[in-house]
Structure 1
Amino acid sequence: MNTRLRYHVKYAILEGALPYERSHGMSIFAHCAGDYRLSKLFNNAIVDVSTMVMKKILVNYKGFEDVSTLVDMGGNKGASLSMIISKYPTIRGINFDLPHVSVFHNWDDEHCIKFMKNCYAALPDHGKVIACEIFIPTIPETNDVARMAYNYDTFMMVTCNVRERTKLEFEALGKAAGFEGFRVACSAYDFKVMEFLKKN
Structure 2
Amino acid sequence: MMITDPLMFSPFYKLSQSIEEGGIAAFKTYGVSTWDMFASNPQAHKCFNDAMVCTTMLIIDVIMSNYDFSSLKGTLVDVGGGVGVTLNEIVTKYPHLKGINFDMPDVVSSAKAYEGVTHVGGDMFTAIPQGDSFFIKARIGMDMLMLTYFDGWKERTEVEWKRILEEAGFRRYNVIKIPTTVSIIEAYIE
Shorter-chain TM-score bucket reads 0.7 to 0.9
RMSD over aligned Cα, in angstroms? Answer: 2.8
- Note the C-alpha offset of 1:59: 0.5
1:54, 1:80 within 8 Å by CA — same for their partners in 2? yes
Q: Which residue of 2 aligns with 1:96?
A: 102
Aligned CA distance change for structure 1 residues 178 and 50 (closer, same or farther; 3 Å): same
Q: Which residue of 2 aligns with 1:40?
A: 46
Give the whole-Å Cα distance in 2 for the aligned partners of 1:171 and 1:132: 16
Match of 1:67 among 72, 77, 86: 72
Identity of aligned residues (%): 27
Question: Is there any run of 5+ residues in structure 2 with no aligned partner, and where?
Answer: 109-122
Q: Which residue of 1 aligns with 2:34?
A: 28
Letter in 2 for 1:159: Y
- Note the C-alpha offset of 1:8: 3.1
Q: Which residue of 1 aligns with 2:117?
A: none
- Note the C-alpha offset of 1:11: 4.4
- Note the C-alpha offset of 1:4: 3.8
Pairing of 1:24-173 with structure 2 (within 5 A): 24-62=30-68, 64-68=69-73, 69-98=75-104, 99-100=106-107, 122=130, 128-135=133-140, 149=141, 152-161=142-151, 162-173=153-164
2:76, 2:133 within 8 Å by CA — same for their partners in 1? no
2:15, 2:25 within 8 Å by CA — same for their partners in 1? yes
Could you say what secondary structure the match of 1:165 adopts?
A: coil
Could you say what secondary structure the match of 1:17 adopts?
A: coil
1:129, 1:195 within 8 Å by CA — same for their partners in 2? no
2:26, 2:34 within 8 Å by CA — same for their partners in 1? yes
- What TM-score do the two structures reach when normalised by structure 2? 0.74
Aligned CA distance change for structure 1 residues 133 and 171 (closer, same or farther; 3 Å): same
Q: Which residue of 2 aligns with 1:145?
A: none
- Note the C-alpha offset of 1:186: 3.4
Give the whole-Å Cα distance in 1 for the aligned partners of 2:45 and 2:175: 32
- Note the C-alpha offset of 1:61: 0.5
Aligned CA distance change for structure 1 residues 155 and 52 (closer, same or farther; 3 Å): closer
Question: Is there any run of 5+ residues in structure 1 with no aligned partner, and where?
Answer: 102-110, 136-148
Give the whole-Å Cα distance in 1 for the aligned partners of 2:165 and 2:84: 25
Give the whole-Å Cα distance in 1 for the aligned partners of 2:44 and 2:134: 31
Letter in 1 for 2:100: I
Give the whole-Å Cα distance in 1 for the aligned partners of 2:137 and 2:79: 12
Cα offsets for 1:11-41 (capped at 9, x unmatched): 4334432221111111111111211211111
- Note the C-alpha offset of 1:167: 1.6
Could you say what secondary structure the match of 1:8 adopts?
A: helix
Q: Which residue of 2 aligns with 1:144?
A: none
Structure possessing the higher relative contact order (Cα contacts under 8 Å, 6 or more residues apart) = 1
- What TM-score do the two structures reach when normalised by structure 1? 0.71
Give the whole-Å Cα distance in 1 for the aligned partners of 2:84 and 2:44: 19
Q: Which residue of 2 aligns with 1:108?
A: none
Aligned CA distance change for structure 1 residues 85 and 29 (closer, same or farther; 3 Å): same
